[in-house]
Amino acid sequence: MRGKYVTETLRVEESGIARAAETLRAGGLVAVPTETVYGLAARADSEAAVADIYAAKGRPSFNPLIVHVASLDAAREFADFSPQAEALAQAYWPGPLTLVLPRKSEAGLAAAVTAGLDTIALRMPAHPVMRRVLEETGLPLAAPSANRSGYISPTSAAHVLASLDGRIQAVLDGGECERGLESTIAAVRGDGTVEILRPGPVELDAGKGAGGGIEAPGQLASHYAPGKPVRLMATQVAPDDFVIGFGDIAGDCSLSESGDLAEAAARLYACLHLGARSPKPRIAVAPIPAEGIGIAINDRLQRAATPPDQSSSGS
């Protein structure tokens, strides 16, 4: 046995969801599929449960967590919604958009969820399994990506177990995640402006955050790391490169042979996981157009290619 627990793999059926909800209500950790990546869920109102998330992931304490809720009404219990925030929630929830909003002082959540900030990151997921778990528990759930901090995000139960087996109580196996990239994170400021803190599947007409500090996950310079050098925009490769192809550039793994960016986003982490396990010492990635969801793909690749010792701010 590795770690503290024998990690159960639960099937997506009534008994599996009930078992996951029971574990979460008791303060345990359960990896749950969402439309983006698998999240490591724990009750957000428990200091001990949230501390266990940080310990299981090896996550730095300055890095806040996203709180997942079942409804907009539930979200309003924890944050102040301006008209701009209400409009975004009405337009994109449930879905892969996280809103960073002013936290209500009476929110009643574990202090570590917000890492001492006066804002809170909230999302209402669309994945039916995560929604069932939220409804079954009746709790807000903190749920960062279900992997060791700084490493490749998981889009399958096997990816979760590769880094967290024995460190968490259970994983609900819901198959492959549809989107494959973490949610877009947008901060709604007091003056009504909206800033993108992390690009993702939802494309908004908004400015990019100035990067003055860690306000939300995914802002570490080095993140999503496969544990070996990553070279981007690779049009020429060496025999000992593990090549992640795209479009006409073939590889050991292709993000999308047809050049479809949505398919590339869904396959990105699976290809990085294959590259990490390959005996080849380096990973070379074909050029990805910086348009649409390609902006988010390139954001993740740039962070994957940044050595950990060059990371000066949070994920």
Domain boundaries, the chain: 8-208, 230-309
Cα first-last separation, the chain: 29
Task: Tell me the percentage of the chain whose pLDDT exceeds 90.
Answer: 84
Angle at CA of residue 302, ends 301 and 304, nearest 5°: 60
At residue 61 the predicted structure's pLDDT band, cuts being 50, 70 and 90, is confident
pTM more than 0.85? yes
Strand, coil or helix: 309: helix
What is the maximal distance between C-alpha atoms in the chain? 58
* 108 burial via Cβ count (<10 Å: 0-12, 13-18, 19+): exposed
- Segment holding 100, helix H or strand E: strand 97-102
Task: Name which of 1-5, 123-127, 203-207 the model is least confident about.
Answer: 1-5
Residue 211 pLDDT exceeds 80: no
Mean pLDDT, rounded, of the chain: 93
The class of domain 8-208 in CATH terms is alpha beta
